[in-house]
């Protein structure tokens, strides 16, 4: 089974970047900020599951 | 490939060549050291003089001091509202989950997680459950009241993440749990081995044969060591595949059994696993030798743990596993260093008793080992509760056989005493079948 890890890594990085931007935009807007933080926790897991292997 | 038919939770990581796993683990170990030194005052002091960049090989890792449970306890002593002393490597406002150790060996250690570190330990448990065959088609029953202890919280959330349907069976007594399992047609179960055995007894009193009348096809056990005879007995009585795993409050779950059921895979590269010798608890030992496990969780950033001495006795295997996973495997826990006693010059672990009883005496419902002292002589007594169906003449023969088999296994003489049905305690979480009265 072939997976394109590099492409996955690029997507993970893009999600991370956009989520950080969203969090920044929503500073003090808890309903957005906390959900963005939760997304970043899962981005961390994606990095551990994929990106660390690519590097 | 259809959803749920994959063999691995992470087909890339779980089949990486060993050299690559080691490379990633060493990098993550350096990252962990850096993070710990920057964020945790405890480790800043403890790791003074250790430069993460200098750790290039597994041999270099052994130069880093180990962390003992007592140090964690001391670091939290008298810290007031902050609770965690100097251990935290994140700001306290980032904490979202609290757990604590059971306090079996001393004052409980408080162990929190951030949202991120909690999701990480849950993800690691997904590796464990997936290897044990849990899939999104399962309805998983958890017969436990969750509380401040970590037991089964990770399992619950990991099963949920896998897409299983999770049935929390906590606030019920045993008969009601068995009935609920039947009513909801649960297909998978998470429990301690002791409770799995206890439920068989209760189910039979209810006229329910777990193998015939329930639909449990897989079971994962946690909370206490499970000698192979106990695992096999659970498989036989439940008609299910029974898997073991290893975990604890501080490291979280860190190893699990695959479909081969030959030892447990360390969840690499999320942990750096080492084995040290029993005598000094510091010298590395090769595969195949019994030793003490030392573990470093590599990505959990809330409270870092560097070379944590688990004090669990086990054996590392390095034969390749037919399942295709390349991670190191360990054999089931052969006891705890804290329970290990030298009696009349012989090393004794209470697990030896369980191995003998579960493998050779199905008529024994419950048992308890007592270590006492008469004058200068240590005395081992085994209290035994037999199934009500055992006749008096059979019980005499059983007593002799138990003494004989224990003598062969442990090289020690036991006094064997019978107690009336229901006379010994039943355990739903950690069992306490060994009582050392000489240390009270």
Return the CATH number at B128.
Answer: 3.40.50.12780
Phi, psi (deg, nearest 5) at residue B330? -125, 150
Residue B41 sits in the same domain as residue B75: yes
Instruction: Give B1's contacts in chain A (Cβ within 8 Å).
Output: 1
Looking at residue B347, its pLDDT comes to 78
Residue B229 sits in the same domain as residue B354: no
Per-residue pLDDT for B102 more than 50? yes
The range of the structural domain enclosing residue B44 comes to 1-337
Can you tell me the distance from the alpha carbon of B163 to that of A44, in angstroms, rounded to the nearest whole number? 21
Largest CA distance in chain A: 45
- Are B371 and B341 in contact by the 8 Å Cβ rule? The answer is yes
Q: Chain B: residue nearest A41 by CA?
A: B116
Split into its structural domains, chain B has a count of 2
Q: Can you give the pTM of this predicted structure? A: 0.87
Per-residue pLDDT for B428 more than 70? no
Residue B4 sits in the same domain as residue B108: yes
Residue B380: both structure tokens together: 């081992």
Say which CATH number the domain at B353 has. Answer: 3.30.300.30
Residue B136 sits in the same domain as residue B18: yes
Mean pLDDT in chain B? 91
DSSP category for residue B248: E
**For residues B159-175, average pLDDT:** 95
Residue B302 sits in the same domain as residue B365: no
Residue B415 sits in the same domain as residue B295: no
- Are B116 and B304 in contact by the 8 Å Cβ rule? The answer is no
Handedness of CA B69, B70, B75, B76 (dihedral sign): positive
**Band (B304; pLDDT cuts 50, 70, 90):** very high
Angle at the Cα of B393 from the Cα atoms of B390 and B397, rounded to 5 degrees: 90
Residue B311 sits in the same domain as residue B350: no
Phi, psi (deg, nearest 5) at residue B347? -70, 130
Q: Chain A: residue nearest B31 by CA?
A: A52
Can you tell me the distance from the alpha carbon of B327 to that of B325, in angstroms, rounded to the nearest whole number? 6
Closest CA to B72 of B45, B107, B109, B104: B109
Domain finish residue from B279, B310, B337: B337
Task: Provide the pairing of β-strand B377-386 with B252-256.
Answer: unpaired
Phi, psi (deg, nearest 5) at residue B345? 80, 5
Residue B286 sits in the same domain as residue B362: no
Cα atoms in the Cβ-side hemisphere of radius 13 Å centred on A9: 10
Can you tell me the distance from the alpha carbon of B297 to that of B209, in angstroms, rounded to the nearest whole number? 41
Can you tell me the distance from the alpha carbon of B329 to that of B150, in angstroms, rounded to the nearest whole number? 24
Whether residues B13 and A49 touch (CB distance < 8 A) is answered with yes
pLDDT digits (tens, 9 = 90+) for B28-65: 999 999 999 999 999 999 999 999 999 999 999 999 99
Can you tell me the distance from the alpha carbon of B55 to that of B64, in angstroms, rounded to the nearest whole number? 9
List the single residue in A37, A41, A53 with the smallest CB-CB distance to B13.
A53
Per DSSP, the residues of B372-426 read EEETTEEEEEEEEEE-TT--HHHHHHHHHHHHHHHHHHHSS-EEEEEE-TT-S--
List the single residue in A5, A42, A53 with the smallest CB-CB distance to B119.
A42
Instruction: Assess whether the previous peptide bond of B269 is cis (omega < 30° from 0).
Output: yes
**Band (B352; pLDDT cuts 50, 70, 90):** confident
Residue, of B406 and B332, whose pLDDT is higher: B406
Measure CA B209 to chain center.
27
**Band (B350; pLDDT cuts 50, 70, 90):** confident
Reported ipTM: 0.96
Residue B3: both structure tokens together: 């959803």
Per-residue pLDDT for B257 more than 90? yes
Looking at residue B418, its pLDDT comes to 93
H/E stretch holding B251 reads none
| Gap from B373 CA to chain A (nearest CA, Å) | 53
pLDDT digits (tens, 9 = 90+) for B375-394: 778 899 999 999 888 888 89
Bridge partner residues of B415 (DSSP) = B381
Residue B321 sits in the same domain as residue B345: no
**Band (B335; pLDDT cuts 50, 70, 90):** confident
Rg (CA), chain A: 13
> Which residue of A7, A37, A43, A45 is the best one to mutate when testing the B interface, meaning the one whose CB has the most B CBs within 10 A?
A45
Cα atoms in the Cβ-side hemisphere of radius 13 Å centred on B184: 19
Closest CA to B9 of B151, B122, B156, B154: B122
Instruction: Give A5's contacts in chain B (Cβ within 8 Å).
Output: 12
Residue B151 sits in the same domain as residue B249: yes
Measure CA B185 to chain center.
27
Can you tell me the distance from the alpha carbon of A45 to that of A47, in angstroms, rounded to the nearest whole number? 5
Cβ burial of A44 (10 Å; 0-12, 13-18, 19+) is buried
Among left, alpha and beta (phi > 0; psi -120 to 50; other), residue A32 is alpha
**Band (B340; pLDDT cuts 50, 70, 90):** confident
Domain finish residue from B337, B370, B400: B337
Domain finish residue from B337, B353, B380: B337
Residue B319 sits in the same domain as residue B189: yes
Can you tell me the distance from the alpha carbon of B160 to that of B57, in angstroms, rounded to the nearest whole number? 38
Whether residues A52 and B116 touch (CB distance < 8 A) is answered with no
Residue B347 sits in the same domain as residue B279: no
- Are B386 and B395 in contact by the 8 Å Cβ rule? The answer is yes
Per-residue pLDDT for B293 more than 80? yes
Interface A-B, measured as beta-carbon pairs within 8 A, has a size of 36
Identify each DSSP E strand in B319-375 by its residue range: 329-330, 341-343, 346-348, 364-374
**For residues B179-190, average pLDDT:** 97
């Amino acid at each position: 089974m072939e997976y394109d890890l590099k492409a996955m890594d690029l997507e993970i990085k893009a999600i991370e970047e956009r989520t950080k931007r969203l969090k920044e935009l929503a500073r003090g807007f808890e309903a957005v900020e906390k959900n963005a933080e939760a997304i970043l926790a899962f981005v961390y897991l994606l990095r551990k599951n994929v990106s660390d292997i690519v590097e | 490939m259809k959803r749920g038919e994959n063999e691995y939770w992470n087909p890339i990581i779980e089949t990486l060549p060993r050299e690559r796993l080691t490379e990633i683990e060493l990098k993550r170990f350096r990252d962990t050291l850096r993070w710990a030194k920057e964020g945790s005052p405890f480790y800043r002091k403890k790791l003074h003089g250790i430069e993460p960049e200098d750790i290039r090989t597994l041999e270099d890792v052994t130069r880093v001091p180990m962390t003992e449970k007592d140090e964690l306890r001391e670091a939290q002593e008298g810290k007031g509202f902050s609770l965690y002393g100097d251990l935290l490597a994140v700001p306290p406002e980032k904490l979202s989950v609290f757990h604590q150790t059971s306090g079996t060996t001393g004052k409980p250690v408080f162990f929190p997680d951030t949202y991120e570190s909690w999701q990480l330990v849950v993800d690691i448990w997904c590796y464990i459950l997936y290897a044990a065959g849990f899939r999104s088609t399962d309805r998983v029953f958890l017969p436990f009241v969750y509380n401040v202890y970590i037991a089964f919280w990770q399992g619950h959330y990991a099963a949920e993440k896998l897409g299983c349907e999770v049935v929390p069976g906590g606030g019920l007594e045993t008969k009601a749990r068995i009935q609920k399992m039947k009513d909801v047609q649960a297909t998978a179960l998470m429990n301690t081995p002791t409770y799995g055995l206890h439920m068989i007894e209760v189910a039979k009193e209810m006229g329910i044969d777990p193998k015939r009348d329930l639909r449990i096809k897989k079971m994962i056990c946690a909370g206490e060591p499970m000698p192979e005879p106990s695992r096999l007995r659970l498989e036989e009585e439940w008609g299910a595949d029974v898997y073991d795993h290893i975990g604890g409050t501080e490291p979280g779950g860190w190893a699990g059994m695959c479909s081969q059921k030959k030892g447990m895979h360390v969840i690499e590269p999320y942990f750096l696993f080492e084995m040290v010798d029993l005598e000094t608890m510091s010298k590395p030992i090769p595969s195949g030798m019994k030793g003490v496990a030392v573990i470093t969780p590599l990505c959990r950033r809330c409270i870092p743990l560097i070379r944590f001495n688990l004090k669990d006795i086990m054996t590392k295997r390095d034969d390749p596993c037919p399942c295709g996973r390349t991670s190191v495997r360990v054999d089931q826990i052969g006891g705890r260093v804290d329970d290990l006693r030298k009696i009349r010059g012989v090393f004794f672990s209470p697990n030896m008793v369980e191995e003998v009883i579960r493998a050779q005496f199905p008529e024994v419902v419950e048992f308890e080992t007592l270590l006492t002292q008469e004058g200068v002589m240590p005395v081992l007594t085994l209290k035994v509760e037999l199934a009500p169906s055992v006749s008096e003449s059979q019980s005499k023969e059983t007593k002799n056989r138990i003494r004989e088999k224990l003598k062969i296994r442990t090289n020690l003489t036991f006094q064997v005493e019978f107690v009336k049905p229901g006379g010994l305690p039943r355990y739903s979480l950690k069992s306490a079948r060994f009582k050392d009265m000489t240390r009270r």
